[in-house]
């Protein structure tokens, strides 16, 4: 999940689905709500026992170590070897779509409709061009709520959602200079939005998976399929913007491989390896991918 969070356009939630910890992740996040409720009632023993502390510590430690240890490598690969790198993620996600899709029932009915809605929604969402939005605290709070949902929502990147809402430059600027001007307040409001967003959205997803599991899994699988538009390795840039000396691509267009050369075969090989890795991972997790 940490590697995925580094890559713009790839969701940590997708990796949670691929590795088969998605359901446990939602339960662990939801347990924070219960812990807060018991703590407010001064029932600290129940609060401590209701929190999935071991799982959260292991997960957050892994994400943190990955981001710190691999951020430089991933940025290098995306800058210097973008096609093979995207191809690897393309294969990973394509393989997970196949495996999770096989578990979905009622394809001609609600399952198929949910899958179609998720696919079309993600396909058009990842193609949106960022817009200009207000810098009020209320909107910053809202941006935090929306962006953090990408952590547990497959197919959608949190940084990409901030770009769409026109707040990527604003938020990253505040984080880069936390003690300048109103940066502390901006970070605090954005952080509160993130906390409220992930605690509330995890409850919604947990409820949907509990009561409408098949339709919800079909929707999540559709989101992953639609997001492949963003992850397709071969692109040409249509529009970009420079933020603090770095070029950020706003809009791209997918193209067919312009030539069959060594890089094409490397990308194809890595894509197939990513696909095969998911198959092997399913065997290692006893078929728990997508649960």
pLDDT for the residue 189: 93
Residue 163: domain span: 10-284
In a domain, 5, yes or no: no
Question: 239-262 burial string, b = 16+ CB within 10 Å, else e?
Answer: eeeeeeeeebeeebeeeeeeeeee
pLDDT for the residue 285: 65
DSSP for residue 129: P
Evaluate if residue 268 carries a pLDDT over 60.
yes
In a domain, 290, yes or no: no
pLDDT for the residue 243: 63
- Tell me which H or E stretch contains 244: none
In a domain, 26, yes or no: yes
In a domain, 4, yes or no: no
Q: For the whole model, what pTM was predicted?
A: 0.73
Average pLDDT, integer, range 206-212: 84
Are residues 137 and 185 in contact, defined by beta-carbon separation less than 8 angstroms? yes
In a domain, 216, yes or no: yes
Average pLDDT, integer, range 123-130: 78
In a domain, 291, yes or no: no
**Total domains present in the chain:** 1
Question: Angle at the Cα of 177 (from 176 to 179), degrees rounded to 5?
Answer: 145
Q: Which of 18-27, 110-119, 151-160 has the highest mean pLDDT?
A: 110-119
Cα–Cα distance measured from residue 153 to residue 156, given in angstroms and rounded to the nearest whole number = 6
In a domain, 205, yes or no: yes
Binned at pLDDT 50, 70 and 90, residue 289 comes out as low
Q: What are phi and psi of 105, to 5 degrees?
A: -105, 170
Evaluate if residue 270 carries a pLDDT over 90.
yes
pLDDT for the residue 83: 92
Q: Mean of the per-residue pLDDT values for the chain?
A: 82
């Amino acid at each position: 999940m940490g590697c995925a969070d580094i890559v713009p356009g790839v969701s940590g939630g997708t990796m949670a689905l691929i590795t088969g910890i998605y359901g446990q992740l939602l339960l662990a996040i939801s347990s924070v709500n219960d812990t807060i409720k018991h703590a407010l009632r001064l029932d600290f023993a129940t609060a401590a026992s209701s929190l999935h502390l071991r799982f959260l510590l292991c997960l957050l430690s892994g994400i943190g170590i990955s981001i710190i240890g691999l951020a430089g490598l991933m940025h290098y690969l995306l800058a210097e070897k973008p096609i093979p790198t995207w191809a690897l993620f393309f294969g990973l996600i394509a393989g997970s779509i196949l495996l999770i899709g096989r578990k979905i029932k009622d394809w001609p009915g609600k399952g198929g409709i949910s899958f179609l809605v998720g696919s079309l929604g993600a396909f058009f969402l990842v193609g949106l061009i960022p817009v200009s939005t207000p810098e009020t605290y209320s909107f910053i709070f809202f941006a935090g709520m929306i962006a953090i949902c990408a952590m547990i929502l497959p197919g959608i990147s949190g940084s990409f959602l901030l770009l769409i809402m026109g707040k990527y430059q604003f938020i990253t600027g505040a984080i880069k200079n936390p003690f300048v001007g109103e940066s502390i307040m901006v970070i605090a409001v954005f952080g509160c939005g993130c906390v409220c967003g992930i605690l509330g959205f995890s409850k919604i997803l947990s409820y949907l998976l509990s009561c409408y599991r098949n339709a919800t899994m079909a929707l999540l699988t559709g989101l992953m399929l639609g997001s492949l538009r963003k992850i397709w390795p071969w692109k040409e840039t249509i529009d970009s913007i420079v933020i603090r000396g770095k070029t950020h691509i706003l809009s791209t267009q997918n193209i067919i491989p312009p030539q069959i050369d060594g890089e094409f075969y490397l990308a194809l090989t890595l894509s197939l390896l990513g696909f095969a890795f998911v198959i092997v991972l399913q065997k290692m997790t006893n078929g728990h991918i997508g649960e």
